């Protein structure tokens, strides 16, 4: 496991006119990986997750647009594992 890792975030659900945001920076220190076929040190990496939300006034609905690793930095957590890039999404939620 990496010796150091941290998450640093900032969130406000209603910053202005029912619009909110959530931003999280995640960082992981270099890591010595020992697998079945290969061993070595994986480099440190970090990525940024972000989301914007909108809650129409007088409804129980929430619309969200966001992404994980929004800067699309390709990193991997083990040799032989795939490089993982960004994931982007749009969602609608209705709270009962």
pLDDT mean values, one per 10 residues, the chain (96 residues): 94 95 96 88 94 96 97 88 93 94
Residue with tokens 């795939």: 82
pLDDT at 16: 94
pLDDT (0 to 100) of residue 63? 98
**pLDDT confidence of residue 79:** 84
pLDDT at 71: 95
Q: Where are the chain's structural domains?
A: 5-94
Q: What is the CA radius of gyration of the chain?
A: 18
Residue 64: the pLDDT is 98
Cα separation, 44 vs 50, whole angstroms: 21
How much is the pLDDT for 36?
A: 83
């Amino acid at each position: 496991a990496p010796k150091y890792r941290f998450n640093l975030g900032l969130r406000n659900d209603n910053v202005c006119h029912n619009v909110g945001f959530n931003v999280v920076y995640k960082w992981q220190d270099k890591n010595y990986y020992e697998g079945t076929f290969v061993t070595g040190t994986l480099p440190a990496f970090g990525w940024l997750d972000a989301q914007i939300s909108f809650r129409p006034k007088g409804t129980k609905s929430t619309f969200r647009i966001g992404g994980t690793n929004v800067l699309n930095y390709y990193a991997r957590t083990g040799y032989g594992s795939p490089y993982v890039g960004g994931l982007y999404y749009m969602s609608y939620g209705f709270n009962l």
